[in-house]
Structure 1
Amino acid sequence: MTIRFKVLFTKHLLGGKLEAIFDSSCPTPPWKEDTLTLEAPVANEPWSLLNHVLEFRSTDAQFWWEKTGHVFARLLQRAGYTPAEQYRELLFYALFVAPELGLAPDENGNVRGWRSPGTPDSTPIDFSWEWGAGDHATVRYSFEPISPHAGTPLDPLNRSATNRWIAKLREQNMVPGLDLEWYDHFTGHILPQEDMARTKTADVFIEETTPKAGTVVALDLEKTGPVMKMYIYPGLKAEELGITNLQLVQQAIRRLPQYAALRVEPLLAYLDEGTARYGFETGILGIDCLRPEDGARIKVYVRAPHTTVDYMMDALTLGGRLPLKESEGAVADLRDFWNAFLADAPAVLPADAPGRASPGFYYTVGCGQEISPKVYISPGYFCKSDADVLGRLRKFFSTRRSDGMMDNYEKAMQDIL
């Protein structure tokens, strides 16, 4: 299981928010520990009350609720969600997420059945914590709905589960503002269709974070209700077509009805340039499930085995295409943040480093919006432990925040780990 944290720098860079995102990967999932270290729940906490009344039809759903639901509850509590908000999010999780997470691990804690791409150990749920301005945090999670027959001849690409899950949400109007125009477009162009002949990728993953098929659901738990996003993996279809992931993503974007309004060509040109210069790997395309005219965004994720500040600045400015605007403070913050985790790393990571170690970026575009670059770092390769990650993060924040969010996040990690 992975618990991510996301830091928003509220100063402006390139006219938009500057973000840095990190994965802090538990070396041992909670369900593999001989004894759990979670604090004993208080009897009147939302988690405890729901846990006493909820019953699940399958032992698998029961497992995921008991193990991951408890983690989720701790994050909500420490992030300052009110009891009413905790009830709302936990009940949604119990009814619409836990039953979709597939088979429980075996008696040794090993994943059974479909292996999900979002976490290092292939478990299907990924929690995250976003720092906002002031004493505010937003909890988020992403997961892959898994069908009972995923990975078998009945459903070799796990294509049915996400569509069924979305249909259920629409029928019950569970996510206000949900719009699937871009979801339908990009899944149609980026994912292999059921009748597509598979000759090059029949029995293998493309690489460690690209599954045989590819949709992961994400929910940002805003206090006003969830905002839904989708992440789509282009690896399999690109491999079968004999083109690169980036070429497939570029084709899909250029075929959008809103293509002209996106003003995306400077980004697509830079991604070609960065692929030639740094060896960018285009791993994921993300979308907001909102109407395009209501602010939906497209996100293109890339990464490369480079760690220098010059690499970072080149990627953030699209090779000089985006000028820095009112950004001295934000750039200084980001340099310090980057160096907090990468200062001791070689300029280019060795060839045997795992793909997840490569620092990367994701770029957001939307109709009438400026291109916005974001930094992405997974510190597991560079840090000795989760405690080391927390220590570096606390040191960075010590001169930049005076609210209690760092204390709350650290307490949540201590509760869980």
Structure 2
Amino acid sequence: MTVLEEFFQQSPFETLSKELNFDSYDEKLWWEKSGLMLARVLSSASYTRDEQLQYLEFFAQALLPLLGPYPQFFRSSITRSGLPLELSINYQQQEKPLVVRIGFEPLNALSGNPQDPFNCLPASELLSSLAQLRTPGYDEQIWHQVIQDHTVSQAEREALQGINLEAGYIRSQTAFGFDLTREGKIAVKGYSFPALKCKVTGQSMAQLMATTMVNLTPLIDCSPAFATVDDYLREVGYDDRSFFSWDFVDPARSRLKLYTGSNSVTWEKLAEVWTLGNRVQSPTVARGLEYLRQLWDRMQLAAGEREIVVAFDDRQSTAKATPLLWNYEMRAGDPTPLTKLYFPVHGESDWKVITAVGDFLCHIGLERHGKGYVEKVKSYYPGIDLTTTDRFTSWVSFAYTEKTGVYLSTYYNSSTDNPWKMTVEEEEHA
């Protein structure tokens, strides 16, 4: 067998595993557990070999060094388990190629320690790496304004010492998202979690978000759309753990997203959220609501008011109930916000979730994805019987526009580890 033949017989993950020089044993472990998951997801989404190699190399070079110690000491707020990484796949009804996304909170050895209790330091390291990629259109202007508005200063960090912070669930300050596009370009998104800023400054979440939108106006003016969002959220009450997102592009072209949630998981709540309490009405909104109802009926979530324990779910006996989540997307020049809903499927039967998603994909005309969907998800977790589990699927998100039709994303536990096999007592004695 020639070297070239051997190269093509190996999977992209196997090829890179032989070539990579890890700086630490921690990096090697993260690669074997989460790098392998990324490889499985990319392959399942029909990325070409070259695309898989490109994005696995990006993961290894830019993200792997910033996953910190394994297992991590600092638990990230981007996942229910505290894992600082979350993989997802996007499906569009208009038959666009599938897009894999990485949600990521950079960590290092100081994350969660007294020197950096709220994990503020690693973000600058990641930004340096991203700048070196020289991605066309990459822009950090919104980042600098939002960080000033939403994250705690050194003096504020000191003021928070000794204060009960709800089991640490809101310690995360920032996170990042990476769309691994089929054009070979990585689209970068930023996230900020201002709950701590509100706690230390005494601002309400409503006040803080309104101030941020004003401060961003010289860069991007979404005030008409935000006025509608703000009016609705003030009526129903801003969630104290709301967060914010934007694109690392020229500010005028960015989307701004305000994320919030509710413990009420009912069809009535979904319909209210979708239309912002009937503030947004159009034929497109109505069509989207019809599809949303069809997805809701298939998912068969446990409906009602959920008792949410604000804590991580990372052991067999920890609380797994998850709230409804959604965001309102705002763009300059468009007075109408776009709703995206996140079905809280963490804690629901994984088998029920994946069979429902597969059925819905077939229903909306994506049979080639829907028919193989269950087997695809099973391939991510070999050796695990998904008919017996309820935490490997994290979210199913839904949006609808005239351009894309149904816009569906599915989110997964993104490590080969299964933290829910272990009880709290076993962890204490491990």
TM-score bracket for this pair, using the shorter chain length: 0.7 to 0.9
Is residue 2:163 matched to residue 1:163?
no
Distance 2:206 2:121 in 1: 25
TM norm structure 2:
0.78
Q: Secondary structure at the match of 1:318?
A: coil
Is residue 2:324 matched to residue 1:362?
no
Distance 2:127 2:258 in 1: 22
Indicate the residue corresponding to 1:236 in structure 2.
196
Q: Is the 8 A contact 1:74 1:412 kept in 2?
A: no
**1:21-40 equivalent positions in 2, closer than 5 A:** none
Q: Is the 8 A contact 2:37 2:380 kept in 1?
A: yes
Q: Is the 8 A contact 1:206 1:236 kept in 2?
A: no
Output one character per residue of 1:304-346: Cα deviation in whole Å (capped at 9) or x when no partner.
Answer: 1222323222222222221122444322110121233356512
Output one character per residue of 1:67-116: Cα deviation in whole Å (capped at 9) or x when no partner.
Answer: 111110111111011111111101111111111101112xxxxxx42111
Say which of 335, 345, 370 aligns to 1:406: 370
Distance 1:341 1:247 in 2: 36
Distance 1:387 1:374 in 2: 24
Distance 1:284 1:187 in 2: 12
Is residue 2:178 matched to residue 1:219?
yes
Indicate the residue corresponding to 1:319 in structure 2.
277
Q: Greater shift after overlay, 266-275 or 392-401?
A: 392-401
Q: Secondary structure at the match of 1:379?
A: coil
Structure ranking higher on relative contact order (CA contacts 8 Å, 6+ apart)? 1
Is residue 2:244 matched to residue 1:285?
yes
Change (3 A) 1:260 1:221: closer
Indicate the residue corresponding to 2:423 in structure 1.
none
Deviation of 1:219 (Å): 0.2
Distance 1:168 1:176 in 2: 15
Distance 1:392 1:377 in 2: 12
Indicate the residue corresponding to 2:142 in structure 1.
182
Say which of 5, 10, 15 aligns to 1:49: 15
Distance 2:55 2:272 in 1: 40
Deviation of 1:193 (Å): 0.9
Q: Is the 8 A contact 1:307 1:342 kept in 2?
A: no
Q: Greater shift after overlay, 59-68 or 114-123?
A: 114-123
Change (3 A) 1:217 1:326: closer
Indicate the residue corresponding to 1:9 in structure 2.
none
Distance 1:402 1:51 in 2: 34
The alignment's C-alpha RMSD in Å is: 2.4
Distance 2:296 2:168 in 1: 24
Change (3 A) 1:282 1:364: farther
In structure 1, stretches of 5+ residues that fail to align are 1-40, 106-111
Change (3 A) 1:405 1:78: same
Say which of 199, 215, 219 aligns to 1:255: 215
Distance 1:146 1:258 in 2: 29
Change (3 A) 1:355 1:325: farther
In structure 2, stretches of 5+ residues that fail to align are 1-6, 311-318, 382-430
**1:73-152 equivalent positions in 2, closer than 5 A:** 73-105=39-71, 112-132=72-92, 133-134=94-95, 136-152=97-113
Is residue 2:154 matched to residue 1:194?
yes
Distance 1:393 1:287 in 2: 28
Say which of 234, 237, 243 aligns to 1:272: 234
Distance 1:352 1:72 in 2: 30
Indicate the residue corresponding to 1:379 in structure 2.
345
Indicate the residue corresponding to 1:308 in structure 2.
266
Distance 2:220 2:134 in 1: 29
Distance 2:149 2:96 in 1: 41
Indicate the residue corresponding to 2:3 in structure 1.
none
Output one character per residue of 1:361-382: Cα deviation in whole Å (capped at 9) or x when no partner.
Answer: 200112113311111111123x
